[in-house]
Each structure stands twice: as structure tokens, then as C-alpha cells.
Structure 1
């Protein structure tokens, strides 16, 4: 049950949609997320009402094509699966949205089953009786 936020500089709805599809498809392919398990917030920043800041940290040259992808999900994936996810997101962001892989910045935040309510004020993943 990942929750995804994507922030992109100077983009339109079509590119945001393509980036959302890229991230979702990568989650399905690499982590086995169900295809209908999509919860995303997609935001374009135009420089007037919102902007993004970035530098060339660790020698990765970034430019106005930068895309920040923040994924929150339940803990338990191996380092290898996470790395496969990062690679696949970068590949699909390039294929679907024309975003250069160097401009794809991904973070994962893991939590526990108790940290989710998917509606009705119920912690659906929490162990029963807690």
C-alpha cells in the first residue's frame, strides 16, 4: 500500500500523469504491488506559486527537469528490491515522460502496518484486537 508524492518543475498534466504511471508500473513490477493499489499526489511547480530547489550533490547534475518522488510504504523490502525499484522508476520516467534518469530523485519512507488507515477511520492492516 504505497502512498506516492511526485513533485516536478514546470510540467503539465500529461507529464505528471506519465510520471505517475511510471512510478506505479515500477512498484507493480519490482515490489509486486497490486495493480489497483494506486494512491498518488502529483504536483507541478511553476516557479510562481511553488518551486523546487536542487544542486549537483554527489556529482549528479540536475536541471529544470528534476522530479522528486517520495514513496511511503510498509517496511520489509530488501535492499536489492529497493535498488531495482529505483532503476525501474528512472527507466520508465524516461520512457513515459522523457525525464532523464539523472533528474529522478527517489526517497522511500517505511513504516508499520499500524500506520495506515485506508478509509472509514479503520487501521485495516493493524493486527485484530489492538
Structure 2
């Protein structure tokens, strides 16, 4: 629950494409890790080519200038298997729906405790109440 998703990609992609990526990531997270409806907080940034500094390859994966970085901050508590399924489902959906190269789907999760969230009003909405 409670994802904050950052998506970074090249300006070679139009704004509408970037929004589609965001929608796909949100829908897959709803299906795979039970993200609540309307819990869609995303920062989508399109970059000039010089602003994305990547290797030609890493771990045997060849990258292109079409790479898409997806970083999601989520609450602790999901199993490794569930996270593996999430990675696979996001990649498969981007490949199927937007014809993205699977090698160009880079995903990173950051897990934090629930008390590290404030959705407004200066309150910790999900902190345990004593």
C-alpha cells in the first residue's frame, strides 16, 4: 500500500506515453500488491538524453535510450515472491501495451515503515494509534 512512484524516461517519448506508463504501473500495483483505489501518487519526468546516464550493458542486459526508470516507495511487508511477481507484471504490461523493450524496464522498490507517510494536514494517517 501507499506507493509513491517516480517514473523517469526520455523526452523521445511523448507526454501521452509517459502518462500511459504511469497508468500501467498503477493498475499493475493495484492487481499485484493491493494498492487501494485512488492511491495514485506519481511523479513522472521526461528527460533530455544527456540527463539519463546509463551503461551500455549491466549484468548481461543491453540498454537503449528508451530505458524507463520506475522507482516506488512502498510500505514494508511484502514477500520477495510478491515483489518478483510485481516486477514481472509491470514489465510484461509495458512490453505488451506500449511495445517497450523488456531490457529497458528498470524497477527499484524502496520500503519504509507506515509511520513515514503523511498524505496531508501534517498527520501520520497510517501510524499505529495507541
Please state which band the TM-score falls in when normalised by the shorter chain: over 0.9
Q: How many residues are paired up?
A: 127
Give the gaps of 5 or more residues in structure 2: none
Structure-2 residue corresponding to 1:114: 115
SS of the residue 2:62 aligns to:
coil
Q: Deviations over 1:54-102 (max 9, x none)?
A: 1111010000110000000000000010000000110111223221111
Moved over 6 A (4+): none
The alignment yields a C-alpha RMSD, in angstroms, of 1.2
Within a 5 Å distance, the mapping from 1:12-91 to structure 2 comes to 12-47=14-49, 51-55=51-55, 56-91=57-92
SS of the residue 1:125 aligns to:
coil
Structure-2 residue corresponding to 1:92: 93
Per-residue deviation, 1:128? 1.9
Give the gaps of 5 or more residues in structure 1: none
Normalised by the length of structure 2, the TM-score is 0.93
Normalised by the length of structure 1, the TM-score is 0.93
